[in-house]
Amino acid sequence: MTTMTNPAPDTFTTGSAERRATADRAARRWRHARRALGAVAALAAIALPALTGPYLITLAATAIVLALLAMSTQLLAVAGLPSFGQTTYLGIGAYTAALLAAAGITNGPALLAAAAGTAALAAAVLAPFVLRTRGVTFLMVTVMIQGLAVAVAVHWTSVTGGDEGRHTPAVTLWPGDPLTSTPVIYWYTLTAFAAVGVGTAWLMRSRLVLLLRAHAGHEPRMTALGHRATLELGAGYAAAAAISGAGGALLITINTYVSPADISFGVAAAGFAAAALGTALAGFPTMTGALVAAVAIVVVRDWAGSDGTGPLLLGLLLLTVPYLRPAVLRLRARRVNRPGAAA
Amino acid sequence: MSTLASYAVTALGGLAYGLLLFVLAAGLALIVGVMNVMNLAHGASYLAGTYLAYLLTDGTLASLGIAVLAGITVAGLGGAALSVLMRPLKGHTEQAVVTLGLGFIAAWIFTRVSGGTTLVPPRPAILDGHLSVAGHGYPVYHLSFIAVAAMLAAAMHAILHHSLTGIRLRAAVDDPQMADATGLSAARIRTAALAVGTVLAVTAGVLGAPVLSPGPGVDSTVLTLSLIVLILAGPGVRIRNLLIAAISVGMIQTLGVITFPTLASFSLLLAVIAALIIRGRHGLQAVATA
Amino acid sequence: MSTVLLHLDEISRRYGAVTALHPLSLTIPTGARHAIIGPNGAGKTTLLHLIAGTLAPTEGRIVLNSRPITRLSPAARADLGVGRTFQHPAVVDQLTVADNVALAIRRRLTFAVHQRAGHRALRAARVAAALQQVGLTGEAATLAGQLPYGRRRLLEIAVVLAARPRLLLLDEPSAGLDPAEISHLTAVIRALPAEVTVVLVDHHLPLVFDLADTITVLASGQHVATGGSEQIRNDALVRDAYFADTTPATTRAPRKGARPTVLDIEQLSAGYHGAPVLDQVDLTVSAGTVHALLGLNGAGKSTLINVVAGLHPARAGTRILLDGTDLRASRTARHRVALVPQGRRLWTALTVSEHLAMAAAAGRRFGAGDGPGRDVADILDMLPVLRNKLRRYPAQMSGGEQQMLAIARALLLRPRLLLLDEPSEGLAPQIIDQLTTVITGVANDGVAVLLAEQNQRFARAVADQISVLDSGHIEFTATTAVLARPDAQARLAELLGVSTAGTVA
């Protein structure tokens, strides 16, 4: 779905026109194949409740929340910021939705908007401080914020319900009844996810993302042109938080419950890893990569590892994929470069 | 009257906790400073240490010594292996993901063997008990831990500032290329930093289990608190700054959590934000003027 | 018409105990073409940083268009019309050429998330115009990282021009460009609207004399002269500080006897960011002699030193032999190759005595047996200035003292080959004289010395042989005796750009 308009790195040298044309044809074929694959995946996702039982449907819904977390992380990776703490904003979104639902506002889209908005607002407040760092220090600060967010969720019992968490009434669709059947909740979640996905795709083509990529590439150049790093990266940080916050609202929709476990180190790690694996496989940060990796992580951790070996399998996945990167890049380069690939 | 004394007992716990965090944070500072790698498995190293203590100690001081030696060996080898794993990787994200993978596997093994319960290794009998002062009992183990950790801090300070090894280490953190050109092997320094950093975390685990009980989630708590200490202490490996930051965090965590639980976690966040305002821009300035 | 655009009021900059720029006042009228020249370490780039806001002055005021900007951030100054280029072309490699230019076109403080179609078209038109201006229209869709070095420099200028600056700061725009590219660049700068003010730092004097109407000469952070280009060419002080370094203070007595070759470089090639800097360079240095490399900025001197020192990778086909065996990049200290790098690169967290202790330990490990055995006591006898500074940190020392420490650190490795990269940079003349004595003494002890320099007077005072690098090639190699001949003089002057003969009127 939402591939950023990033050109593949150095796949062919500007040589003969014929060679370039061949490469173009190969790239076009790859684009077509990817579109077909995407369509099949989308159809499968929609038809899932007709194909399987409630267990797999709930798993798919989990994958959607993780995918939003991964996309949120990936948006910051595009800006050159390795963030571990996007669960903080997932948590802010989820608790906002939970509090609103408890207060009687159970309308799904309204909760989604409120969650995304609150998360973005919180991110905008924290941005000036977090964005004083870059690189590994930024990573450190975000890991720490993740940990502090869990601590706050555990100790601020009057708002969060502490370790016990908060139960919420079922979400409604205006003007409908509460969503209680698993397939209906799933379809609503999928639709909401598609809406956020379209918004993200639009964002990836916007000038803001161009600026984020430029800050990642050469910050002194941007400053010398008058761009304010904190302001522009802060806008990206808030946008990423909104995506995560939307994930929080969907979490409430699916589980009608939220607790500190939903924003734990393990969840943050899965979101961070999904974005990183997506990047490792594509060679540069793409939203599609993050999405695919999020699904792969849920498959490995929750489906294949449902007998308790989940963390082990996930650990092994994380230990192998980064080392495959050179092979993947070689493969991509060869596919595009192969003479007569499209003949 | 006795409220003051009970605060003193709690403060003693805070001091022990702070010194435990100091040992952990010093290890992480070494890894981040020399390797520029965020080791997300640092908390898992602590857990591994506590598990080692659980396996090897039987309530005698000698067995605790054996556990420490075993921890040093295992951690040294593990750290060296980790530096081999880091070599082909590019970028903070990939390196962090691989350490995360190791952390997941370690945590899985730990839950498998413990069955999800908290495994508290027995304290050596000599150190089990309380020292009674003015009607209040101070746990002997905590007092001994404070003494050992303080000695460790003094030894680290001495090594860092008064030995050739320390000079080499600071040179390698400062400008690794010039250290290399002056006869140090950068690869060896990096391996050593990872090994020593891991040894510190595992040793903290072997000795620190009675101070901070091992159990599910402790690995991420340890990681978060070490990072807070690191950020408060500022860039580089500076023993004095790390010590001050670690003891402050330890005190807030014990005294604060008992008195105002919510405030304690917020106050740590505020302290970190203040630290970011004061020192955040350092790295960027270097880039701008390069 | 000369309204004042930029006024510098006694601005200075210190780094710890080192003064990079002594108090300087300058007034630059609107539309000026103002060049700043001077040897390396003169403070030119520091001055540019101060105007752009990437460095804050230690003292003094900066006024732009009668508005004080001393405390404004670089971005705020950009809003007021300050545009700048960097020494290495600052473009975003991961973006296309057109996207790079689009970054410059912005409404102030607008993210343009809500773009209107009109806005987008306007931006596209301005991107196209900027690319046309520098001749990059054909490469609009190419990734900036895939452009050759010279084209990247042009792209950077297109980016800066697209922001429509009133004050354009150019930092060494001709570095690394070939003659054709330099003349293209000159044409681009010449074609700028008259109301754009240009402040230019460059080593390539023909370009400077071609473009500038006013020239400021700096040396060792101090103002030497400001005036019209004719006046500057004829100024005796300027000739002394910069141009007229053709007569060395002392001439080196030629060393007698056959000497074994220590360093033998064959077919050395290397580059940065895909741009070749050195192309199949051959060079030898014999024991007990000093070989100096001269050349303009960007000629490849530092790259050559860094490749030999193992700090920069060489390309395939390069062979570097030390006493006949291959020198491995990761073990240069083991092979007793010592480096005094450009900018000293001392360890900020180590005291002087700690620097010395660390180097001495390495020297004892690798430097057993042959060669001059030096320990800390010998070094302190040789460089007495360090003796009462043992507990100081580098930031608490002057530039000359720092340089002596960098040399001490290198000598304690007991080197067979000593590499020095611009050791005279930013130093006062009397310190340079001391440096001459030290390096001559080192060579007399049998060490082979390879030296990259811009200061011709200094190079000729210490060297037995001089090679001139130009655009990645060695143009010629000669002994200092041969260099004294008038024909060699003329060739040298031409290559190093100190002659004004090539100036286009």
Per-residue pLDDT tens digits for C314-350: 888 889 998 888 887 767 888 889 999 988 899 988 9
pTM over 0.95: no
Quote the minimal CA–CA distance from C142 to chain A in Å: 9
DSSP string, A85-146: -THHHHHHHHHHHHHHHHTT--BHHHHHHHHHHHHHHHHHHHHHHHTT--HHHHHHHHHHHH
pLDDT of residue C301: 87
Strands C465-470 and C4-15: unpaired
Q: Which of C95, C143, C156 sits opposite A214 (nearest CB)?
A: C95
What number of CA atoms fall less than 13 Å from residue B41's CA on the CB side?
A: 30
Nearest to residue B21, comparing CAs of B195, B190, B253, B182? B253
Shortest distance, CA C501 to any CA of chain B (angstroms): 35
Beta-carbon separation of A276 and B97 below 8 A: yes
H-run or E-run covering C265: strand C261-272
Give the strand pairing for C33-37 and C197-201. parallel
For residue C354, list chain B residues with Cβ-Cβ distance below 8 A: 167, 170
Pairing of strands C33-37, C214-219: parallel
Residue C171: φ, ψ to 5°: -100, 105
- Give the residue on B whose Cα is nearest the Cα of C366: B183
What's the pLDDT score for residue A13? 41
pLDDT of residue A9: 40
Q: Does B168 touch chain C (CB under 8 A)?
A: yes
* φ/ψ bin of A167: left (φ > 0), alpha (ψ from -120 to 50), beta (otherwise): beta
Q: Which residue of C has its CA nearest to A233?
A: C111
Mean pLDDT value across residues C232-248: 63
Q: Is C243 or A329 the better-scoring residue by pLDDT?
A: A329
CA distance B143 to B19: 11
Nearest C-alpha neighbor of B138 from the set B148, B147, B128: B128
Yes or no, beta carbons of A211 and C111 under 8 Å apart: yes
**Hey, what are C74's tokens?**
């670089």
With an 8 Å Cβ cutoff, is B260 touching chain A? no
What sign results for the dihedral spanned by CA atoms B70, B71, B76, B82? positive
Say if the Cβ atoms of C94 and A224 lie within 8 Å: no
State the virtual CA torsion across B120, B121, B126, B131 in degrees, nearest 10.
-20
DSSP per residue over C200-213, as a string?
EE-S-HHHHHHH-S
Whole-angstrom Cα distance, residue C183 to residue C191?
Answer: 12
C409 to chain B: nearest residue by CA?
Answer: B182
User: Is B276 in CB contact (< 8 Å) with chain A?
Assistant: yes
Residues in chain A closer than 8 A to B89 (CB atoms): 322-323
Q: Are B36 and B165 in contact (CB under 8 A)?
A: no
The answer to whether B171 contacts chain C (CB < 8 Å) is yes
Q: Of A12, A205, A30, nearest to C142 (Cα)?
A: A12
- Which pLDDT belongs to residue B288? 28
Cα B167 to its chain centre, rounded Å, is 22
**Chain region(s) in chain C for CATH 3.40.50.300:** 4-243, 261-347+415-496
Q: Which fold has domain C4-243?
A: Rossmann fold (3.40.50)
Chain centroid offset of residue B209 CA: 13
Confidence of residue C172 (pLDDT cuts 50, 70, 90): confident
β-strands C59-64, C4-15 pairing: antiparallel
- The residue in chain B having the minimum alpha-carbon distance to the alpha carbon of residue A222 is B288
* H runs (alpha helix) in C140-204: 149-162, 179-190
DSSP letter at A283 equals S
Q: Does the pLDDT of residue C160 top 90, yes or no? A: yes
Residue A1 near residue A197, CB atoms below 8 Å: yes
The pLDDT value recorded for residue C98 is 95
Query: What is the DSSP code (8-state) at residue C250?
Result: S
Side-chain half-sphere of C423: how many Cα atoms within 13 Å?
Answer: 32
Could you read off the pLDDT of A163-213 as tens digits, one per residue? 999 999 999 987 778 888 889 999 999 999 999 999 999 999 999 999 999
Is the pLDDT assigned to residue A3 strictly greater than 60? no
The pLDDT of residue A343 is 31
In b/e form, how buried is each residue of A120-150, taking b as 16+ CB within 10 angstroms? Answer: bbbbeebbbbbbbbbbbbbbbbbbbbbbbbb
For A220, name the nearest residue in chain B, comparing CA atoms only. B288
- Spell out which residues of chain B touch residue A271, defining contact as CB-CB under 8 Å: none
The shortest CB-CB distance from C93 to any of A217, A226, A227 is to A217
CATH domain B2-289 topology: ABC transporter involved in vitamin B12 uptake, BtuC (1.10.3470)
Does B182 contact C348 at a Cβ distance shorter than 8 Å? Answer: no
Q: How far lies C487's CA from each of C249, C484, C491, in Å?
A: 20, 9, 6
Contact A89, A244 (CB under 8 A): yes
Contact residues, B window 28-47, toward A, CB-based 8 Å cutoff: 32, 36-38, 40
Distance (Å) from the alpha carbon of B158 to chain A's nearest alpha carbon: 27
Which residues in chain C touch residue B184, judged by CB atoms under 8 angstroms apart?
A: 333, 362
**Edge-to-edge order in the sheet of strand C33-37:** C82-84, C167-171, C197-201, C33-37, C214-219, C222-228
> Residue C240 — very low, low, confident or very high, per pLDDT cuts 50/70/90?
low
Per-residue confidence band for A220, with pLDDT thresholds at 50, 70 and 90: very high
B264 reaches A (C-beta below 8 A): yes
Probe site for chain B from C347, C414, C416 (most B CB atoms < 10 A):
C347
Q: What is residue C489's predicted lDDT score, i.e. its pLDDT?
A: 79
Q: Which residue of A has its CA nearest to B28?
A: A140
Lowest mean pLDDT among A297-301, C5-9, C236-240: C236-240
Kindly determine whether residue C333 and residue B180, on different chains, have CB atoms separated by under 8 Å: yes
Cβ-Cβ contacts under 8 Å for C401 (sequence gap 6 or more): C385, C386, C389
Per-residue model confidence (pLDDT) at position B16: 93
**Chain A CB contacts of C104 below 8 Å:** 225
- Between CA C20 and CA C221 the distance in angstroms is 5
Q: What is the DSSP letter of C349?
A: T
**β-pair type (C33-37, C82-84):** unpaired
By percentage, how much of chain C surpasses pLDDT 70? Answer: 88
Q: How far apart are CA C372 and CA C366, in angstroms?
A: 13
In this prediction, residue A8 carries a pLDDT of 40
CA distance C28 to chain A (A): 21
Distance of CA A179 to the CA centre of its chain: 25
> How much is the average pLDDT of A259-273?
95
Distance, CA of C96 to CA of C142 (rounded, Å): 5
Q: Looking at the complex, does the CB of residue B269 fall below 8 Å from at least one CB of chain A?
A: yes
Question: Nearest chain C Cα to A204, which residue?
Answer: C113
Averaged pLDDT of chain C = 85
Is C261-347+415-496 a CATH 3.30.950.10 domain? no
Average pLDDT over residues C438-448: 91
Q: Scanning the structure block, which residue is given the tokens 């809406």?
A: A195
Span C108-150, pLDDT tens digits:
434 444 455 567 788 888 999 999 989 999 999 999 988 888 8
Residues ≥6 apart with Cβ < 8 Å to B11: B251, B254, B255
pLDDT, averaged in runs of 10, over chain B (290 residues): 71 91 94 87 92 88 92 93 89 91 90 78 78 74 92 92 90 87 84 93 92 82 91 84 92 79 75 74 34
Provide the β-strand partners of residue C419.
C339, C450
pLDDT at A5: 40
B184 contact C CB<8A: yes
pLDDT of residue A21: 76
